[in-house]
Chain A
Amino acid sequence: MLEIIASPISFFILLSLFFVGAIGSLFFYKNNNQANAWSSFFVISGSLVGLVFSIVNILTKNSLLFGLKTSFFSFFTISFHIDLLSSFFVFVISLLALFCSIYGIGYVRHYYKKYNIGVLGFFYNLFIGSLILVVTSSNGILFLIFWEIMSISSYFLVVYDNHDDDNVKAGLLYLVMTYIGTSFIILAFLLLYKYIGSFDFLVIKDNIALIPASIKNIVFVSAFIGFGLKAGIIPLHIWLPVAHPAAPSHVSALMSGIMIKSGIYMMIRLFLDILQPVPFWWGLMVLVVGSISALLGVLYALTEHDIKRLLAYHSIENIGIILLGLGSALTFYSLNLPALALLGLIAALFHTLNHAIFKALLFLSAGSVINEVHTRNMEEYGGLIKYMPQTALFFLIGSVAISALPPFNGFFSEWLTYQALFQGIAQMSFVTQWIFILATGSLVFTGGLALACFVKAFGVTFLARPRSKKVTCAKESALSMRLGMGGLALLTLLFGVFSGYIISIINTVSQSLGIFKNSSSAINISSSQSMSVSNGFSSISGPLIFVLFVVTIFLVVFIFKKIINRKQKECTTNTWDCGTNFTPRAEITATGFSRSIILIFKGLLKPTIQHNIEYYDDQNRYLPKSRTVTLNIGNVYHTYLYQPLHIVINKLSVKAKTIQNGNIDLYISYILVALMLALLVIL
């Protein structure tokens, strides 16, 4: 039985489910309900098959290699290689796709009669199918094809809500940026092909010694730019906070949870698997970029009051944290410390899994809120906990997890990342040590600011009183949406409490990489699920923390209720309002909350504050009619990076135009010159 599940057959069943789901929902495009049911059924069953397939593969340490033997071109073979790393990513994709699709059943209802559900189902199935293909394909060209299908299908999902012009613009920016990224990836693959003569990853890996060091560095830089663009590293992130909010919420959850991780997957695959051994500075560069992305990502998130953009910026932050783990793994391995490198990689993979779960949870609950209130602006929320109590609980769980507070899963992966960085500080020479110290510092800062940001997001959205009338019409979201969110919320807790077990599985996944074959990890996991790093440098236990957490809460409640307050009666009355009428204007706004932090980081964020006062009488400026304060954040990347680039490219294009002036005689002479040159070269 297990052998059948872990065989290529079930992989093709999985793919065909997505394919049938995609094509079938197009056939049902006239009936919204049928299209929704069809596409959801196939996505859910596909992801269930994917879950079983990947879990069995991981647990039996099974690695699959299959493909079509014959092909038309020598360089293009349809071949798949599903090792444990691929299985791990298939697992994460299927897990998220499962819950997002359950959520989607209820969520897409509000698109009925406005948009075509069949088209949504088509691209949604295609998107998830291509995600799975991206992480399993083993040929450069094949990979690029799936990579493009993934990008294009996600582009169509971004512009799905096309009545809003902003979404169409966001889609365009996403498309342009994604092609820039792809061109860098193609450059990297072509360079590899030039020296090895094959696009097959396994062949490249075996013959990697043929590539000179300088070419390898170029491959690294262009792959890092290309995949980093997809992952959303700063300063290549500009598409991410624009495109993610534009998509339907369950798609944003998948894009933020998984699609950007496909970049991380390829980085791990290339840098830790294929291109080994790597020079020392690669790891440091990944570390530096990771710490910058983490810190700036969370800072920009703080300035946002569009809830989905805020979450999108947090994805940038978390990609930064993952890169910190990956960067330390690279650095350690190039210094021949495989045990510690394994620690860094485990931290990166575990955070990939955890971030996928809690970011999807947050996006889904934000989607429920947007679905009810019909705006993404947090300043118009408030008091939603009374109208949507369960959604509020799910958002709270997600916020606690992303702020890395125990006992939820985010804490454990960040803890591992810290351990990797601490090991770096302890073992490295002076200069490298300081890079590790700065990276640790940025991680500390990031954690604190993320907490502040989610205090803001949760407080402004769910607490206090409604800030607009729309909120008072909000209702609790549909059952399927609550199921999707509830499942993810439960997973954040379980993956935290049983982090020891999950880490031991990730450990086997990481050890399956060629370079870690004979090395044991620096993490020891005892039978009681507690982990300790490098022989007692530090240790932690998920269940223990959970028990402590529950006992502490119980004790505090007990002590307050039964001992300290035993003589006091509780009474609930209105807030003392000093005789005025309370309006939502008295509440702190999202902008107001983050203002102090923005002013601290004035140098980085370049805020502009504009005061506008409108008077009743322009001549007589004593009675102001209305006052507005506009707080804006300068777009540094636009003014200093993208605009100058744009100008340079424009100028070059104008120069190039002189060659192509429309004169047919000139063109004929070009052909003649080209012919002569070709002849000269051949002769």
Chain B
Amino acid sequence: MLKFFAKIFKTPKNIISFSKNDLNQMDFFEIGEKIQDKVKKLFRGSLAIRQIDAGSDNACEQELIALSNSFYDVERFGIHFVASPRHADMLLVTGPVTRNMAKAVKDAYDGTPNPKIVVAIGDDAIDGGIFKNSYAVLNGVDSVVPVDYQILGDPPTPTIILYSLLKILETVEDKTLQKK
């Protein structure tokens, strides 16, 4: 238990930051192509994501659902939303983590095989956002499980989400290169 808290404490919560210019220069398809390259390299062609709603107001869910609609269609880049944490490489957690969902988030984290990437999406998930300091919430995902990356926005648009994923994958690639 203590170990787990230490891990939560130690894990660097990288907030994915980028300038508007970067985003404006590339259109969605370009980002997607780059992501596809990274996914091919790092995950052998398919990145499985499990999304957890930890008491979100559904704004982030709308955007995530939009990712897989026919307009954005991220599946063509090798990103899949899967039904079980057992199949996932990455956990996307939305919402400020209500007290009732804390155990579910923890269980899902435990249920995901290692190595795993935990990403908190949206301002709510980072520190509670507009629900901050309410009696019903725990103020962010990092109070329950170790969070590796955080994506800003209330809610972030699908393009921002995809772009952030690209950034995350780039960081992951850098880290693996460093290890080698």
Q: Which residues of B contact A576 (CB under 8 A)?
A: 84-86, 111
In contact, B84 and A571 (Cβ under 8 angstroms): no
Min C-beta distance of A240 to chain B, whole Å: 47
A573 adjacent to chain B (CB < 8 Å): yes
B20 to chain A, nearest CB (A): 39
Give a binary string over B59-97; 1 marks a CB under 8 Å from any A CB, 0 the rest. 000000000000000000000000011100000000000
Asked whether A578 is an interface residue with its Cβ less than 8 Å from the other chain, the reply is yes
Contacts A578-B84, A579-B104: A573 and B111 contacting too (C-beta < 8 A)?
yes
Q: Which residue of A lies closest to B86 (CB)?
A: A576
B110–A573 touching, CB < 8 Å: yes
Q: Which residues of A contact B86 (CB under 8 A)?
A: 576
Contacts of B111 in A (CB 8 A): 573-574, 576
In the bound assembly, the distance between CA atoms of A576 and B84 in angstroms comes to 9
* Contact partner, A574, options B84, B104, B110, Cβ 8 Å: B110
A574–B86 CA distance with the chains assembled, in angstroms: 11
Which residues of chain A from 570 to 590 have a CB within 8 Å of any chain B CB? Answer: 571, 573-574, 576, 578-579
- Which residues in A have their C-beta under 8 angstroms from that of B107? 579
Q: How far is the CB of B64 from chain A (nearest CB, A)?
A: 19
Q: Which chain B residues numbered 101 to 117 have a C-beta less than 8 Å away from chain A?
A: 104, 107, 110-111, 114
Task: With both chains docked as a complex, state the minimum distance between the C-beta of B101 and any C-beta of chain A, in angstroms.
Answer: 10
Taking CB as reference atom, which chain B residue is nearest A578?
B84
Complex Cα distance, B111 from A576, in Å, reads: 6
- Residues of A with C-beta under 8 A to B114: 569, 571
**A573 nearest CB neighbor, chain B only:** B110
The residues in B between 3 and 53 inclusive whose CB is less than 8 angstroms from any CB of A are none
Q: Chain B residues with Cβ under 8 A from A579's Cβ?
A: 104, 107
Bound complex: CA of A574 vs CA of B111, how far in Å? 8
Tell me which residues across on chain B come within 8 A of A573, comparing CB atoms. 110-111
A571: chain B residues within 8 A (beta carbon): 114
A571 to B115 Cα, complex, angstroms: 12
Size bin of chain A's contact surface: under 10
What residues of chain B lie closer than 8 Å to A569, measured between beta carbons?
114
User: In the docked arrangement, what's the CA distance between A574 and B110, Å?
Assistant: 9
B83 (CB) vs chain A CBs: closest residue: A578
Query: In this complex, which of B85, B111, B114 has the most chain A Cβ atoms within 10 angstroms of its Cβ?
Result: B111
A199 → chain B, closest Cβ, in Å? 74
- Which of A571, A574, A576 is the most central at the interface, judged by chain B CB atoms within 10 Å of its CB? A576
Min Cβ gap A21→B in Å is 60
**Cα A576 to Cα B85 with chains together (Å):** 8
How far in angstroms is the closest Cβ of chain A from B87?
Answer: 10
Closest to B107 in A: A579
A417 shortest CB reach to chain B, Å: 46
Residues from chain B with a CB closer than 8 A to the CB of A578 are 84
Instruction: Say how far B3's CB is from chain A's closest CB, in angstroms.
Output: 14
Closest to B101 in A: A579
Give complex CA distance A571, B114 in Å.
Answer: 9
Which of A569, A571, A578 is most buried by chain B, counting CB atoms within 10 A of its CB?
A: A578
Render A647-675 as a binary contact track against B, CB cut-off 8 A, 1 for contact.
00000000000000000000000000000
Q: Closest residue of chain A to B113, judged by CB? A: A571
How many angstroms from the CA of A571 to the CA of B85 in the assembled complex?
Answer: 16
Distance (whole angstroms) from the CB of B108 to the closest CB of chain A: 8
Cβ of B86 to closest chain A Cβ, rounded Å:
5
How distant is A579 from chain B, measured CB to nearest CB, in Å? 6
* Nearest CB in chain B: distance from A575 CB, A: 9
Alpha-carbon distance between A571 and B111 when the two chains are bound, in angstroms: 11
In the docked arrangement, what's the CA distance between A578 and B107, Å? 9
Which of chain B's residues has its CB closest to A579's CB?
A: B104
Instruction: Report the minimal beta-carbon distance from A565 to chain B, rounded to whole angstroms.
Output: 14
Q: Which residues of A contact B85 (CB under 8 A)?
A: 576
A571 to B110, CA, bound (A): 11
CB-contacts of A543-592 with B (<8 A): 569, 571, 573-574, 576, 578-579
User: Quick one: closest A residue to B104, CB to CB?
Assistant: A579
Q: How far is the CB of A72 from chain B (nearest CB, A)?
A: 83
Bound-state CA distance A569–B84 (Å) is: 21
Q: Smallest distance from the beta carbon of B106 to chain A beta carbons, Å?
A: 11
CA distance A515 to B1 in the complex (A): 78
CA distance A67 to B104 in the complex (A): 82
Q: How far is the CB of B153 from chain A (nearest CB, A)?
A: 27
CB distance from A401 to the nearest CB of B (A): 37
Interchain nearest-CB distance for A14 vs B (Å): 63
- A499-524 interface bits toward B, Cβ cutoff 8 Å, 1 = contact, 0 = none: 00000000000000000000000000
Encode contact with B along A472-494: 1 for CB under 8 Å, 0 otherwise. 00000000000000000000000
The interface residues of chain A lying within 8 Å CB-to-CB of B84 are 576, 578
Among residues of A, the one whose C-beta sits closest to the C-beta of B85 is A576
- Measured CB to CB, the nearest residue on chain A to B103 is A579
Give the distance to chain B from A32, nearest Cβ to Cβ, in Å. Answer: 51
For B104, list chain A residues within 8 Å (CB). Answer: 579
Shortest CB-to-CB span from B111 to chain A, Å, is 5
Closest to B108 in A: A579
Q: Which residues of B contact A574 (CB under 8 A)?
A: 110-111
Bound-complex Cα distance A413 to B163 (A): 69
* Closest beta carbon of chain A to B100's beta carbon, Å: 11
User: Measured between alpha carbons, how far is A669 from B85 in the docked complex, in Å?
Assistant: 95
- A386 CA / B111 CA spacing, docked (Å): 24
**How far does the alpha carbon of A573 sit from the alpha carbon of B85 in the complex, in Å?**
13
B145 to nearest A CB, angstroms?
A: 14
Which chain B residue shows the least CB distance to A571? B114
Q: How far is the CB of A572 from chain B (nearest CB, A)?
A: 11
Q: How far is the CB of B138 from chain A (nearest CB, A)?
A: 18
In A390-408, the 8 Å CB interface with B consists of none
When chains A and B are docked, how far (Å) is the Cα of A640 from the Cα of B67? 68
Task: Give the complex CA separation of A578 and B84 in angstroms.
Answer: 8
In chain B, what residue has the closest Cβ to A577?
A: B107
Give Cα A98–Cα B85 distance, bound, in whole angstroms: 55
Q: How far is the CA of A368 from the CA of B49 in the complex (A)?
A: 49
What CA separation (Å) do A571 and B86 show in the bound complex?
A: 13
User: In the complex, how many angstroms separate the beta carbon of A610 from the nearest chain B beta carbon?
Assistant: 36
Tell me the B residues contacting A by CB distance below 8 Å.
84-86, 104, 107, 110-111, 114
Which 8 pairs between the two chains have the least Cβ-Cβ distance? A576-B111, A576-B86, A579-B104, A573-B110, A576-B84, A579-B107, A576-B85, A573-B111
Q: Can you list 12 A-B contacts with CB-CB less than 8 angstroms, sorted by A residue number?
A: A569-B114, A571-B114, A573-B110, A573-B111, A574-B110, A576-B84, A576-B85, A576-B86, A576-B111, A578-B84, A579-B104, A579-B107
Given contacts A574-B110, A578-B84, A579-B107, 10 further A-B contacts (CB under 8 A): A569-B114, A571-B114, A573-B110, A573-B111, A574-B111, A576-B84, A576-B85, A576-B86, A576-B111, A579-B104
